[in-house]
Amino acid sequence: MTNEMKIQCKPIGVVRADEKQGQYYLLIEPEYREGLLQLNQFSHVMIIWWADKVDNESDRKVLTTTLPYAKSEQAGVFACRSEYRPNPIAITTMMILDIDPDKGIITIPWIDAQDGTPILDLKPYLPCSDRIRDVQVAAWMSTWPEWMEDAGSFFAEHAVDFGE
């Protein structure tokens, strides 16, 4: 049943993340900047990125991991947001602070990707498509905040070493 097919992706830009300066933005390649038209009408964007720092044969074979935020728990990669996956595709939903379409710069408050990470695609966050009313999460996540806006202070208070 597993047919290998060749899938080609061309990055549309890169993440620029300067932790020390607290500056985060997405730099979109010139040939894709036209695609930013009307994105400024949205408050949030879904950033699909390639976890290139772990894109190797051994990391692609990792199917379970010890959770950095629940050290006594192991989970399969499909049950967590680990960057170790058969295809290291990651997604982050983030607030848009500013967009300069001419320079291809989307300023964001932060991102869980490293500087230079390739961006595969952007999609506007749409509550009717991306928000779910009745949700169940694993017990080891039950103390996490319900809303993204509360996550920053929660994770700062519960500092976790993600091994970076």
CATH (residue range 13-127+137-157): 2.40.30.70
Structural domain boundaries in the chain = 13-127+137-157
Query: Distance between CA atoms of 40 and 101, rounded to whole angstroms?
Result: 9
Nearest Cα to Cα of residue 99 among 44, 49, 50: 44
Predicted pLDDT at 137: 87
Measure the CA–CA gap between 94 and 44, rounded to whole angstroms. Answer: 5
Q: How many CB atoms lie within 10 A of CB 112?
A: 18
* Cα-Cα-Cα-Cα dihedral sign, residues 57, 59, 62, 63: negative
The pTM of this model reads: 0.88
Is the pLDDT confidence value at 162 over 50? Answer: no
pLDDT in tens, 76-88: 999 988 888 999 9
- Helix, strand, or coil (residue 122): strand
Record the tokens describing residue 119, joined without a space.
């961006």
E-assigned strands of the chain? 13-18, 23-28, 44-50, 64-67, 70-76, 89-95, 98-100, 105-108, 118-124
* Assigned token pair, 76: 């399969």
**CA–CA separation, 25 vs 36, rounded Å?**
14
pLDDT(31) > 60: yes
Q: What is the pLDDT of residues 141-158, one digit of tens each?
A: 888 888 877 877 776 776
Angle at the Cα of 21 (from 19 to 22), degrees rounded to 5? 60
| Mean per-residue pLDDT of the chain | 89
pLDDT value at 163 more than 50: no
Phi-psi region of 30 (alpha: psi -120 to 50; beta: other; left: phi over 0): alpha
The tens digit of pLDDT for each residue in 69-121 reads: 787 889 999 998 888 899 999 999 999 999 999 999 999 999 989 999 999 99
